[in-house]
Structure 1
Amino acid sequence: MVLRRTKQKGNGTGRGKKWAIISLAGILWIGPVMGTGGFAPLNWTGGSVASAASAVKLGEEILTSGAILMKYRYSTSSGTALADVVRVDLNNPYVKLDVMTGKGGQFTTRQSTEGMAKETGAVAGVNGDYFNTSREGAPIGGQVSDGELMSTPSDLSGMYAFAVTKDGTPMVEQFTFEGTVTAEDGSSFGLAGINKAAYTPETAGGSYSHSNAAYIYTSAWKALERPANSSTTPTEVLVENGVITQISENAALPIAVPENGYILRTHGKAADFVKQHLAVGQSITTDYKLRVKSTGKEIDPSTLQMMIGGHTILVNEGKASSFSRSVSSIGGTRARTAIGYSKDNRYAYLIAVEKNGSSVGMSLNELQSFMTSIGVWKGMNLDGGGSTTMVTRDLGNTEADLTFNTEYGTEQRSIVNGVGVYSEAPQGTLKGFTVSGSKTLLIGQTGSYTLKGYDTYYNPYNIGKTSVTWSSSNPAIISANGSTVKGVKPGTATLTAKSGSAKATMKVTVLGADSISSLTAGSGTGSLGKGTTISIPVTAKTTDGQSVSISADALKWEFIGFKGSVKGNELTVSSVDSGAEVGYAIGRYDGFSAVVTLTADGGSSMWEDFENVGYDVSFTTNAQGVTGSAAITAGSGEKAGSKVLQLDYDMTGGAGKMYAYAQLNGTSGKTIQSPATGISMDVLGDKSLNWLRAEISDADGKTVYVDLAKAIDWNGWKSLSADLSGLNIAYPAKLKRLYVVNVEEGQDERAKTGTVGFDNISLNAPGTVSSKALKTGTAQMSIGSKSMNVNGNKTVIDAAPITRDGSTYVPIKYILDVFGGQAQWNASAQRVTVIRGGVLMDLTVGDKKFVLNGKRKSADVAPLVLGGRTLVPLRLVSEQLGLTVKWEQKTKTVTIQS
């Protein structure tokens, strides 16, 4: 059999040249299997894995004829997990599975799942086989595409592969490889494999896969070294069109493999065979096959449509299976990828479990249980963790995009191969449309909507100049003027686009205050000065977790302490009120508020710019073998001409969870004198995907860890900020360390060497920005008494405090008169706005929810109106304003201090 490169054809979606390849990645295959029974699952007790939970289908959508995407919710021991499943109908002639490989369909190149899908025209895809991240980038397992055996199974125990025959029959089995190369004189020598990276065999003996062995490398192998770090010196034979054209003894041929041939790479006994039986100009043939390990059945690769390697078996005969090899290196609760098929052989399942802000991931046991619950009869594990990626093509679109965020956000790991879903359908007629545009609008906001068409096979259809009519199911909520839609009032309405018999609908929600959990305007701080212009782009976070950008001038603005205006996303101070030490710009949207606090220093102060550092900066670590340095150094690029803190680290000699610290002022740290609600800094990223943190020690001796970035997924300088307000830090505190963490779980996915930098660390303290205008002292009030004792002096008040259901209510005006601040009453909204320092609270009569500096909060009590006076819960308001409250039960007296 002569190896050749073939072109795979789809339905005009631009699929390029591809090699099918089998692979399995390195870190996971070093552990041996236990006897013939394999390893049991973690916490294995025998039999199937029982689960009280069941998979709840959240929805499904058609991807193409014969393939649908289903989304599930699944309860685990760690919380709620989300799983995305592409189900492919293997009986449908218009869809097929195949293997996506690197860049240009070649090994040793690596590419993201999305990149491979776009390059090959896949309508959906998941990441594939394991690979040794320290090698050149080739799969460890076997891979077949369109009958071409691109890579052979490695000599590793317990490694499974998924395959589909050309007649649509799926298999999940362990496969072995058998092959020979035959000289013109009839002599033959066994082949050890095709397109393999170097590894340690587990059953054949010996430490080196390429010792005394013959391997074939095709043009699917791009790298000139075949393979890297083999610990052997090769004798290589170039074969073109079945004829030997070059032989290089004891040295690799310095060429890439041509498309019309292959290179026979030999060593030791195999090299002796070359010397004794092969010569330039002679013909040479190869023959090989796969064999099912469990039955001994021979498989001709040309009968397979596709095949991809994986790791352990997970499900067999509809039940959780004991693991076929050690899973210690792939344990934990993580994102997961798996593949399997149904009992009737009709459906293949491509499974991806999410681990992100919406999903906790799964253990392998939980993945097994999930797979059985959705109908998987036999299935196996694919590469998971940071590699887990799914891409799918929405109806009407021409390319597949990321289906959900990976463990690293939108960052996708470059991998060696994946499983792609391809349409084989011809061009059909127009069947329907999909609407693209925002599903959420603000009151008064307009959005532009577009249509994409799909045909009878659910593939993209060019609608060209098709005439379309747009309408709204409720013009009082959204109005439609052609494809331009405007939000009128809070609620949900259906937008419909129609052309002939084809139509599309989309539910559009106009957000009201009840739909918003927070509203932020820029940094929330600024400088109070005539002529000052401040950027205040507004972001609304909805109660279901969406972030919506709003133009600041879409809000209604109130100004306290100054006069100003808002245009676009800019606030301009036209004049400052006499005696004002602090100003507030309050932006309201349907009653919800965002606040910008303005002071002479902007509320944000430069804490360290590293220009004149008078303390030591040093490197330290937690792990033996980790090295590095921390120093103040000259910046580069956009930081040229300034000084920065640079942290270099090398964790290649360490193990376990590893830290690299830039330590400030020895073990003492640098003091943060005043309370801070936020910290921001410029950070030089190295795209290592490591974790970036800061360590603070507070006045009570408590250590507080601040997440700056869960994954360093960028190169170059970037501004980061972190919220400190909810960390309960006692001040004065000390910033002790800035550091990089390489956690043990999924460690092979992150760089162990790199350089990060820090500059311009600022602290934000809006809660104390107007401290000059605030007052200190003690006030006492008694239940039912219209008098108040302030610093020993008695004063009359016109409304007495009361108690109701165990809570004390007071007229807030008198508290603010004593300690500084102000209150505003909006009779129509029944809302009282309380301001003190950098704190702004909106409380509504009868509503236990309140807004604190743009964030919705909940309380146990609500304001009330009594005798024409609005009374607020004393403890709730006082504590938010930085006051302390003490209750004396015997005298029914409240003491308030600042």
Structure 2
Amino acid sequence: MTRRQRRFAAGGTVLTLLAALGTLAGAALVGAAPAGAVPERTALAPGVAYEEFDLPAAGGVAHAHVLSVDLRDPRVRLDLLYPGAVAARSPVSRMADAAGAVAGVNGDFFNITETQHPGVEATGATVGPAIVKGHVLKAAVPTGQRFGPALPPGTGTEDVIGVGVDRRAQLDALALDGSVRTPEGRLPLGGLNQYALPEGSIGAFTSDWGSVSRVRATCGTDNDRAAGCSTDTYEVTVRHRRVVAMSDTPGGGPIAAGTTVLVGREAGARQLRKFFAGEPVTVRHRLVGSTTRVPYRFALGGYPLLRGGRPLPGLDDRTSAVRTAVGVADGGRRLLLLALDGAPEYRTGLTIAEVADAMRRLGSVDAFSLDGGGSTTLVAREPGASAVTVRNHPSGGAERPVPNGIGIFTTP
């Protein structure tokens, strides 16, 4: 495909040079390029289309790749792409092909490195909550433990974009509601399949976690990701609701179905030390939304950029980078998935404030930022093709393995 012929004159800002997009908010494809551009638009499947175009910005020309998804079409749905475990990574193209997706983008920020904790394995797990096919995979780490750029005021690691069983997309916040019950009483559950647990808490790890060591969950503090690992830890293994093993340190390796590993730090560790072999234990958990009671079919983390058509206050307007974002329009019935190109001539990208403005000009009422930089990837499958292709140029020169993404699926 020819990708780099469609440019606007250099200079100006997204705000001024995308003004023409305001008239396209009701178009069938709200990712249409501004007047004067010659976009190359491809219908990938009923309700799903792709196009690309240039976006002049303060730091130079950026190149946008946009997927438009019409959830009013009953043949279209969104779901989470992930490699089969929370603590694992895979290229977006591989996850999309394995799941049978027609298109997709990368997802949440994640625990990519552990330079502050020598000898501790980076888990690859994401920052925020995750739901796949209605099944809760994980909850959010404490805000001070997140990886990624500074959050806009009033946002946190529990923020998600998701699609409910009503087929409507929306922004929300998903909080963990869980408990550990024993004959002696009930203890609060502070985490679920997270690479970082709140101080003094107990976290649950299930077969969804994978085989990576659970030591990282006890490192850092609620306000300082780089703080040392706790020296007061304890682990209890519960199988078929009975305590079957105990350890002073968190372990690793696969967790069998029907088994839950409880990891405690500080006060949580002291509570777990009271458990004994054979004791009956019931672990319950769910994610509770702040704006709806409609169950989510799919959700993943990031942070909001737009709410009700207005950019959030405090968005960074200085640091330009390659970005991935998702926009919501038409009462949650239509989505725009945007990924910037990471080729050298476009690598300056956009600031977060420019991304928010661009998403609004493209017709989004709400918008959400996903992981960017070397993670930014958009894939799509041409009609009749057997596999997706990467449509943007990842800024690292090749696809970066990531822990999750948004997949677009269609049925004949």
TM-score (norm. length: structure 2): 0.78
Corresponding position of 1:129: 108
TM-superposed CA distance for 1:214, in Å, is 0.7
Output the CA distance in 1 between the equivalents of 2:292 and 2:392. Answer: 40
Structure 2 vs 1, CA of residues 298 and 78 (structure 1 numbering), >3 Å: closer, same or farther? closer
Counterpart among 25, 47, 57 of residue 66 in structure 1: 47
Between the aligned partners of 2:130 and 2:175, the Cα distance in structure 1 is: 12
Deviation at 1:358, TM superposition (A): 5.4
Q: CA RMSD in A?
A: 2.5
Secondary structure at the counterpart of residue 344 of structure 1: helix
1:250 pairs with 2:248: yes
2: CA distance, partners of 1:349 / 1:186: 50
**Residue 375 of structure 1 pairs with residue 363 of structure 2:** yes
Match of 1:170 in 2: 169
* Matched letter for residue 58 of structure 2: S
Alignment partner of 1:271 out of 269, 272, 276: 269
Task: Indicate if the aligned counterparts of 1:72 and 1:82 stay in contact, CA closer than 8 A.
Answer: yes
Where does 1:820-831 land on structure 2 (aligned, <5 Å)? none
Pick from 405, 408, 421 the counterpart of residue 408 of structure 2: 421
Which amino acid in structure 1 is aligned with residue 341 of structure 2?
Answer: E
Matches within 5 A, 1:86-235: 86-101=67-82, 103=83, 105-134=84-113, 135-156=122-143, 158-159=155-156, 160-183=159-182, 185=183, 187-198=185-196, 209-228=197-216, 230=219, 231-232=229-230, 233-235=232-234
Could you say if the C-alpha distance between residues 77 and 287 of structure 1 is closer, same or farther in structure 2, counting changes exceeding 3 Å?
closer
Whole-angstrom CA distance in 1 between matches of 2:259 and 2:108:
26
Partners of 1:367 and 1:224 in 2: how far apart?
35
**Mapped contact 2:96–2:104 kept (Cα < 8 A):** yes
* Aligned-residue offset at 1:117: 1.5
Q: Residues of 2 paired with 1:254 and 1:315: CA distance? A: 40
Whether 1:51 and 2:10 are equivalent positions in the alignment is no
> Do the aligned partners of 1:158 and 1:174 also contact (CA within 8 Å) in 2?
no
**Aligned partners of 1:69 and 1:86 also within 8 Å:** yes
Contact 1:235/1:249 (8 A) holds in 2 = yes
What is the CA-CA distance between 1:357 and the residue it aligns to? 4.6
The separation in 2 between residues aligned to 1:254 and 1:308, in whole angstroms, is 25
Hey, what's the Cα distance between the residues in 1 that align with 2:328 and 2:365? 6
Q: Secondary structure at the match of 1:365?
A: helix
**2:297 alignment partner AA:** Q
How much does 1:278 deviate?
5.5
Contact 1:237-1:247 at 8 Å conserved across structures: yes
> For residues 362 and 251 of structure 1, do their structure 2 counterparts lie closer, same or farther at Cα, with a shift above 3 Å needed?
closer
Shift of the 93–298 alpha-carbon distance from structure 1 to 2, 3 Å rule, reads: closer
Question: Counting helix residues as a fraction of each chain, which structure ranks higher?
Answer: 2
Query: In structure 2, do the counterparts of structure 1 residues 166 and 408 end up closer, same or farther at CA, with 3 Å as the change threshold?
Result: same
AA in 2 matched with 1:95: V
SS in 2 for 1:270: helix
2:116 alignment partner in structure 1: none
Tell me if the contact between 1:97 and 1:422 (Cα under 8 Å) persists in the aligned partners. Answer: yes
Instruction: Tell me the alpha carbon deviations over residues 713-763 of structure 1, each in whole angstroms, 9 at most, x when there is no partner.
Output: xxxxxxxxxxxxxxxxxxxxxxxxxxxxxxxxxxxxxxxxxxxxxxxxxxx
Partner of 1:611: none
SS at match of 1:370: helix
Match in the other structure for 2:24: none
CA contact (8 A) 2:377 2:390 kept: yes
**Cα distance, 1:128 vs. partner?**
0.7
Deviations 1:214-265 (A, max 9, x none): 1111112223421326223532222334x22413142335642112332121
Contact kept in structure 2, 1:314 and 1:323, CA below 8 Å: no
Tell me how far apart the structure 2 counterparts of residues 52 and 399 of structure 1 sit (CA, whole Å).
Answer: 35
Superimposed CA distance per residue, residues 837-861 of structure 1 (whole angstroms, 9 cap, x where no aligned partner): xxxxxxxxxxxxxxxxxxxxxxxxx
| Distance in 1 between residues matched to 2:359 and 2:76, nearest whole Å | 23
- Cα contact 1:192–1:214 (8 A) shared by 2: yes
Separation in 1, partners of 2:266, 2:305:
39
**Cα drift, residue 306 of structure 1:** 0.6
Q: Which residue of structure 1 lines up, in the alignment, with residue 337 of structure 2?
A: 350
Match of 1:309 among 301, 309, 320: 301
Aligned equivalent of 1:692: none
Structure 2 CA distance for partners of 1:188 and 1:174, relative to 1, 3 Å: same
Q: Is the 8 A contact 1:53 1:76 kept in 2?
A: no
Deviation at 1:390, TM superposition (A): 0.6
1:335 maps onto 2:322 in alignment: yes
How is 1:257-296 mapped onto 2 (pairs within 5 angstroms)?
Answer: 257-276=255-274, 279-280=277-278, 282-292=280-290
The 1:158/1:394 distance shift into structure 2, 3 A limit, reads same
- Residue pair 1:235, 1:247 contacting (<8 A) in 2 also: no
| Mapping of residues 598-613 of structure 1, within 5 Å | none
Task: Report the 3-state secondary structure (helix = DSSP H, G, I; strand = E; otherwise coil) of the residue aligned with 2:270.
Answer: helix
- Give, in whole Å, the separation in 2 of the partners of 1:291 and 1:363: 29
Contact 2:172 2:289 (C-alpha < 8 Å) held by counterparts: no
Of structures 1 and 2, the larger Rg is shown by: 1
The answer to whether the 8 A contact 2:342-2:392 is kept is no
Measured after TM superposition, the shift of residue 395 of structure 1 is 0.9
Instruction: Quote the Cα distance in structure 1 between the aligned partners of 2:69 and 2:252.
Output: 43
> What is the identity, as a one-letter code, of the residue corresponding to 1:158?
T
Alignment TM-score, normalising by the size of structure 1: 0.37
Does the 8 Å contact 1:289/1:298 carry over to 2? Answer: no
Q: 1:282 to 1:340 in 2, by over 3 A?
A: same
Output one character per residue of 1:609-630: Cα deviation in whole Å (capped at 9) or x when no partner: xxxxxxxxxxxxxxxxxxxxxx
Change (3 A) 1:66 1:359: same
Deviation digits for residues 550-588 of structure 1 (CA, Å, limit 9, x no counterpart): xxxxxxxxxxxxxxxxxxxxxxxxxxxxxxxxxxxxxxx
Q: Deviations over 1:653-673 (max 9, x none)?
A: xxxxxxxxxxxxxxxxxxxxx
- Summarize the alignment of residues 719-798 of structure 1 with structure 2, pairs less than 5 Å apart: none
Q: Distance in 2 between matches of 1:245 and 1:257?
A: 14
Superposed CA deviations along residues 387-427 of structure 1, whole A, max 9, x for unmatched, are 11111101111111111212233x1112221111122x2xx
Contact 1:51 1:369 (8 Å CA) reproduced: no
What letter is aligned with 1:111?
S
Q: Residue deviations 1:195-231, cap 9 Å, x none?
A: 1113xxxxxxxxxx45421111111222342132622
Matched position secondary structure for 1:76: coil
Distance 1:249 1:288 in 2: 26
Cα distance in 2 for residues equivalent to 1:251 and 1:387: 33
State the shift of 1:132 in Å.
2.6
Gaps of 5+ in 1: 1-48, 199-208, 426-456, 458-898
361-370 or 382-391: bigger deviation: 361-370
**1:178 CA drift (Å):** 2.5
Corresponding residue number in structure 2 for 1:7: none
Report the secondary structure of 2:257's partner residue: coil
**Cα distance, 1:277 vs structure 2:** 5.3
Q: Distance in 2 between matches of 1:314 and 1:217?
A: 31
Instruction: Tell me by how many angstroms 1:281 deviates.
Output: 5.4
Amino acid at match of 1:370: A
CA offsets 1:841-885 (integer angstroms, 9 cap, x no match): xxxxxxxxxxxxxxxxxxxxxxxxxxxxxxxxxxxxxxxxxxxxx
* Counterpart among 378, 384, 389 of residue 396 in structure 1: 384
2:5 corresponds in structure 1 to: none
**Shift of residue 162, structure 1, vs aligned partner:** 0.5
1:213/1:267 contact within 8 Å kept: yes
CA pair 323-262 structure 1, distance change in 2 beyond 3 A: farther
